[in-house]
Structure 1
Amino acid sequence: MSGEFQLEVRGVGKSFGELDVLRDVDLAVRPGEFAAVIGPSGSGKSTLFNIVSGLDRPTSGEVRVDGQVAFMPQKDLLFPWRTVLDNTALGLEAQGVRRREARRRAAGLFEAFGLDGFQSSYPFQLSGGMRQRAALLRTVVLERPVLLLDEPFGALDSLTRTEMQLWLADVWQRYRWTVVLVTHDIREAVLLADTVHVLSPRPASVVKRIEVPLPRPRRAEAVTEPEFAAVERRVLDARNWAVR
């Protein structure tokens, strides 16, 4: 694959019987880039993630990834009978890392993820936002170069969602992972991403790639700036054009 990109999706199509879900999807993400994928409900965003993560195979086209992919689904999927620390170490243990070492590596991220002091707590004792942080920590501790985030804040209330978006922007600024975020929220996409890829309705293809030239770090007040509104409008226009 090209050394310019960490992830390349080239001409990917996916059909389930006679149902075409994806058609000729092209998507390229550079190392350290935060990319957002936005599209209407049922357009195949999650199907695309399943293919990129290796959970499914494309009917046509190819996916090339420089390194391995870590996938965080919409639900946190924390096990209620395991402590938060044990939950965050679970992925490492599944890869064969010894339990003591897995817990040590996960524990080293608790402060950065705002979870310090909750290592021995259980998921029911955490807020929705904290559960999502734990789920992301479990994903990140695998140390894979590409992170796929499938609407991670979709189930949160508006206030918590905004708080988590700003937190993710800050923690990404610190670690500079290569991230692909699926979302239906245009404001979330513009606030977090370097590029926004707009999908058409099913069968989905990328109809527009929009650069987000806003300075970082981005704060809550960024959404009130004219430059932010201008990018939002470009994404909205592209989405509206795609669904006509």
Structure 2
Amino acid sequence: MTDPRGDRIVVDSLTKSFPQPGRRRPARQVLAGVSFTAQPGEFVSVIGPSGCGKSTVFAMLAGLDTPDSGGIRFGPGEGEPTAPHCAYMPQKDLLFPWRTVLDNTILGLLVRGVPKEEARRRARELFPVFGLSGFEDARPSQLSGGMRQRAAMLRTVVQDRELLLLDEPFGALDSLTRTEMQSWLQDVWQRYRWMVLMITHDIREAVYLSDRVVVLSARPATVRREVRVDLPRPRELSMIAAPEFVALEQELLDVLHDEARQALGPRDS
């Protein structure tokens, strides 16, 4: 799904190493030339072995870290830095227990200098869409796990950025709640068609939600494979039993198993 303006995200040959404890130990290389793109309106999942550098890439997209070489840009041609165009949702909801749900959802807007009443108005408009109507004045402790994640995603979405970075948004939820949240996210994404990059360790989740899945190798990471998910939308939960869905899931599982074996070998010693 392309856009005539070319306002896409380009991740270009990222490398990154981190120092290790001990004066004589060489730096540990985490990224070894990671490259991929995301188009407006596209949902892309990033998967890979644990510790391969997925969250490091997201930190760079959000402007929280810098690569040793390579770059990330937004837009056509040379583009511009991505951070001003990104809204980042980390693994934990990070809702402040002493603030109401509404006041938690406006934090990103307040940091950007949006007046409080305007921020509240913009957030309130999204509460029905996110299934949170009537909980504006509740405390986070009064919400279920799924509701807390929806509140955290509302806080991300209300910033109205071109790219949503979702770092394992449902990883802490139980299986049933996670499945419900996946269906909810698909429905809301189809309504708004955000450009989404999502980290997940759940292959089935990646296939169910994504237009493309980017598979990173074991550390030091490169892009091992990109798999296009040409399954019709909207995707019903019953689709996970369809032969074409199972085939995509198995293809990704085989690649990940191979990389996991590599991660336990000399490359990670």
TM-score (norm 2): 0.88
- 2:120 aligns with 103
Partner of 2:171: 154
Alignment-derived partner of residue 265 in structure 2 = none
Unaligned runs of 5+ in 2: 20-26, 76-83, 263-269
Shift of 1:4: 4.0
Q: Is the 8 A contact 1:6 1:146 kept in 2?
A: no
Q: CA deviation at 1:3?
A: 5.0
- Matched-pair contact (CA < 8 Å) for 1:5–1:29: no
Which residue in 2 is equivalent to 1:83? 100
1:180 deviates by: 0.2
Equivalent runs, 1:1-244 vs 2, <5 Å: 4=6, 6-17=8-19, 18-66=27-75, 68-243=85-260, 244=262
TM-score scaled by structure 1?
0.97
**CA deviation string 1:177-224 (max 9, x = no partner):** 000000011000000000000011111111100000010001111111
**C-alpha deviation, 1:238, in angstroms:** 2.1
Distance across 1 between alignment mates of 2:195 and 2:220: 26
Matched length: 243
Q: 219-228 or 148-157, which moves further after superposition?
A: 219-228
Alpha-carbon distance, 1:113 to partner? 0.5
How far residue 242 of structure 1 moved from its aligned partner, in angstroms, is: 3.0
Deviation track 1:42-67 (CA, whole Å, cap 9, x = no partner) reads: 11111110011110000110001236
CA deviation vs aligned residue, 1:96-117 (integer Å, no higher than 9, x gap): 1111000000000000001011
Structure 1 residues 142 and 27: CA distance shift in structure 2, 3 A: same
Q: In percent, how many aligned pairs have the same letter? A: 59
1:173 alignment partner, SS class = helix
Distance 1:53 1:65 in 2: 12
Indicate if the aligned counterparts of 2:166 and 2:198 stay in contact, CA closer than 8 A.
Answer: yes
Provide, for residues 215-240 of structure 1, a one-character-per-residue CA deviation record: whole Å limited to 9, x for no partner: 00011111111111011112112223
Distance in 1 (CA, whole Å) between partners of 2:74 and 2:63 is: 10
SS in 2 for 1:32: coil
Q: Deviations over 1:141-191 (max 9, x none)?
A: 000000000001000000000000110011000000000000011000000
Q: RMSD of aligned C-alpha atoms?
A: 1.2
SS of residue in 2 equivalent to 1:233: helix
For residues 236 and 131 of structure 2, what CA distance do their matches in structure 1 show?
A: 18
Larger Rg over CA atoms: 2
Asked if structure 1 preserves the Cα contact closer than 8 Å seen for 2:49 and 2:259, the reply is no
Q: Hey, what does 2:24 align to over in structure 1?
A: none
Q: What is the one-letter code of the residue matched to 2:201?
A: H
Q: Which runs of 5+ in 1 are unaligned?
A: none
